[in-house]
Amino acid sequence: MPLADDPDPRLVEDFYVRRGARPLVQVSPAEERIGLDAELARRKWTREGATDVLVAEAGAVLAATARGQVTLSERPDAGWIAAWAACEERTDAHEHAPAVLARIEAPAAYARARSDLGVGLAVCERGWAGLFCMATAASARRRGVASQVIHALTAWAVELGARRLYLQVHSANAPAHALYGRAGFTRSHGYHYRAAPR
């Protein structure tokens, strides 16, 4: 539920409570919603999920990443979902993935690196490509697998006319920030959530 800069959090609280859910607000971009964030903090709403949005020029990403053995498909088949679940070490992937991935509209590309050691997803729209579900198996980290997945997805996006890329990464994930920095991404802005007291 969107809020103005000078919000009345009771509107959000009522909205969620009527639906039996805990009130949650995304503060975005965090750098510009200082008033909202301060008011929610004053009301003891907890800060959660700090995330950075990174952007890059597609050409720079192609130059900074490596080609590799990466397979792309138009849909998330059972093999892609299994690889994503294994890389993310998620036990709920098979329940979560169909509900979320079914809402993604084409054009989209689902990437699987050799031996299912890495996965990723790209979606193109209006000259931009968003990279999502980027994950590398724990046994294959720091071996260039993620770079190869990024390269394959970027090349695919460029063929569809995308010139810029974006992705989201947890603010505290230093290894991911380093990886994306080497690939040519820089921070655009950040956001986080505020959750109402239980």
Per-residue pLDDT of the chain (198 residues; tens, 9 = 90+): 445 555 567 787 888 889 988 898 999 999 999 988 998 999 999 999 999 999 999 999 999 999 999 999 999 988 999 999 999 887 787 777 777 888 888 899 999 999 999 999 999 999 999 999 999 999 889 889 999 999 999 999 999 999 999 999 999 999 999 999 999 999 999 999 999 998
Question: Token pair for residue 113?
Answer: 């690196």
- Among candidates 98, 74, 80, which has minimal Cα distance to 160? 74
What pTM, to 2 d.p., does this model score?
A: 0.88
**Domain 53-189 superfamily per CATH:** Gcn5-related N-acetyltransferase (GNAT) (3.40.630.30)
Contact at 8 Å (CB) between 16 and 23? yes
Cα gap 182→178, rounded to integer Å: 6
Q: Which element (helix H / strand E) includes 109?
A: strand 108-113
Cα gap 129→191, rounded to integer Å: 20
Q: What are the residue ranges spanned by the domains of the chain?
A: 53-189
